[in-house]
Structure 1
Amino acid sequence: MEDAVAEFGRHLRAERGVSPHTLRAYLGDLNDLTGYASDLGVTDPAALEVSLLRAWLARQHALGRSRATLARRTAAARAFTRHLHRRGVLQDDPGLLLGTPKRGRELPGVITQEEAARLLDTMDAEGPLGLRDLAVLETCYATGVRVSELCGLDIDDLDTERGTVRVLGKGGRERTVPMGEPAARAVQDWLRAGRPALATDRSGPALFLGARGGRLHPTSARRIVHARIAEVGQVPDLSPHGLRHSAATHLLEGGADLRSVQEILGHASLQTTQLYTHVSVERLKHVHRQAHPRGTRSDE
């Protein structure tokens, strides 16, 4: 069973082009599945049956796994059995008989437009690390990129004349995202006066660098965002994903259409964009008052 999982991992990496994060998550899920199957005496992938898969998922539910985790583990099991079926290891595909747990619509926290301005306008940007950190937060908020996409940016991805950045997203999909003047200015300041002080032989073309000169790691980027928000104060703690969600929310509040936000965020499905973005109730009420023939209350 372990060999089958390892071969499936090579298939995902070489032929499906999944992200490293998705690969780690799927292999972790399947290693848990094979461990559960082994405890039941099932070590041959050809012996996988829907009853075993359902029992494994039921155990995950009993252990208190979140709906998002259950949905991902169901998807991992389905992809695995589909692969085994296509290779002739399984005569029938038991994954087709699995139900799909509904994922919760929990959204990350957001900051207001005023809080975003306070954060970015009052940050300490002294020294190479200060310049880098301001450029990181400005870029996260201006472009709405994922933290992995942010850390994967190279210097050549910037188009300073057009004020855009080329982003390589999930599934190898490339998109061009506008940056805005404050973010572009912060990045230029970092490239001019910050990056040269940290750059080493191992820096390569990476846009953002860690303190030792290597490409900035997503874990470090998350730590930077949390630390800088804490320093500023009077701004709710937020992750890079929260900045991404805030950017999308503020775009919608400013009048952007959902399709444009989808393109900026790099979502393959508009449905995903709808889960990541929301418009404040107050703005909806304002639009209703302005646009609906009976939207204005009689006492106003």
Structure 2
Amino acid sequence: MKEELDAFLHYLLVEKGLSANTIDSYRRDLTRFLSSLTKQSCLTPGDVKREHILSFLLELRKEGKADATINRHLSAIRTFFRFLIHDEKCAYDPSAHIETPKMEKKLPQVLSVSEVERLLQAPSSSTPFGQRDQAMLEVLYATGIRVSELISLRLDDVHLQMGFIKCMGKGSKERIIPLGQEAVNALAHYINNGRRKLDKSKREKVLFLNHHGKPLSRQGFWKIIKKYAAQAGIKKEITPHTLRHSFATHLLENGADLRAVQEMLGHADISTTQIYTHVTKVRLKDVYSQAHPRA
């Protein structure tokens, strides 16, 4: 079914406008699924039955895969079969009545305001790489954008005088997000100094560059944030998404409107944003327990 998979991935790219990272995720999950089908002697979409999909999901479970991973695979399979039905390559959806595993909702890890301050102050502003890293961390915390959106920013997406960035999110949806003064200052310092030294070709349009003068990768940024977290003495498990979570939580703790936070984060559904209201309640409870004499 490689031909059908190729057609599906092309559809996601051209008609749905999904990002390269999302399409790669679909490719990996569905390639694994098709491999399982081949072992079960399913060679065409019409051969696939409910039990074949259940067998594949059981295979993932035996490997110790998390519920979230199994749900992601099942979601990819469902989307794939809806495409095949629409394309008249399949008469019915064998995944239609398979229940998704119920996931325990885990609250995202967030940093305290003082931890964020220490992290943002960790890079040295005297070197090109330090200026770049400081600008990236300031922008992440100031805007809450995803890391994939951060490393995709172009020079012409930054409007320092007006104090905002233009960001292309999931599904090619554009949004405008305000910048705080600290982020504006860090960006201006990087663009006017460090970036000029990093842009060896003098033609690169992407904002954040590596030591080769090329766009920085997700893996590159992952190493950067881990390094500065260690320098700042932060003991929490930190990921590139931690500043996004901290941005949303700190805004809501200080009275920001949930809809406004949803828009800045680029969430299609407000229920995704509401997880941060649970985080703020947990943090309030912790503060109460520590501070109230009769708690």
TM-score, normalised relative to structure 1: 0.90
1:97 match:
97
The correspondence of residues 23-62 of structure 1 with structure 2, limited to 5 A, is 23-62=23-62
Deviates more, 1:161-170 or 1:1-10: 1-10
Q: CA deviation at 1:122?
A: 4.5
* Aligned length, in residue pairs: 291
Residues 256 and 45 of structure 1, relative CA distance in 2, 3 Å threshold: same
CA-based RMSD of the aligned residues comes to 2.2
Q: CA deviation at 1:200?
A: 2.3
Residues 10 and 195 of structure 1, relative CA distance in 2, 3 Å threshold: same
1:281 match:
282
Residues 202 and 41 of structure 1, relative CA distance in 2, 3 Å threshold: farther
Deviates more, 1:99-108 or 1:23-32: 99-108
1:128 match:
128
- In the alignment, structure 2 segments of 5+ residues that lack a partner are none
Q: CA deviation at 1:137?
A: 0.7
The correspondence of residues 255-266 of structure 1 with structure 2, limited to 5 A, is 255-266=255-266
1:84 match:
84
Q: CA deviation at 1:146?
A: 0.4
1:174 correspondence with 2:174: yes
CA distance in 2, matches of 1:299, 1:31: 58
Deviation by residue 1:146-180 (Cα, 9 ceiling, x = unmatched): 00000111111112122111111000011111110
1:198 match:
198
- In the alignment, structure 1 segments of 5+ residues that lack a partner are 288-296
Contact 1:119 1:235 in 2 (8 A): no
Contact 1:202 1:214 in 2 (8 A): no
Identity of aligned residues (%): 35
CA distance in 2, matches of 1:85, 1:188: 51
Residues 209 and 103 of structure 1, relative CA distance in 2, 3 Å threshold: same
Residues 110 and 96 of structure 1, relative CA distance in 2, 3 Å threshold: same
CA distance in 1, matches of 2:114, 2:161: 28
CA distance in 1, matches of 2:70, 2:237: 27
TM-score, normalised relative to structure 2: 0.92
Question: Could you say what secondary structure the match of 1:271 adopts?
Answer: helix
Residues 122 and 28 of structure 1, relative CA distance in 2, 3 Å threshold: closer
Deviates more, 1:213-222 or 1:88-97: 88-97
1:216 match:
216
Contact 2:165 2:179 in 1 (8 A): yes
2:143 match:
143
CA distance in 2, matches of 1:299, 1:52: 58
Deviates more, 1:81-90 or 1:135-144: 81-90
Deviates more, 1:49-58 or 1:149-158: 49-58
Residues 186 and 272 of structure 1, relative CA distance in 2, 3 Å threshold: same
Q: CA deviation at 1:201?
A: 2.1
Q: CA deviation at 1:266?
A: 0.7
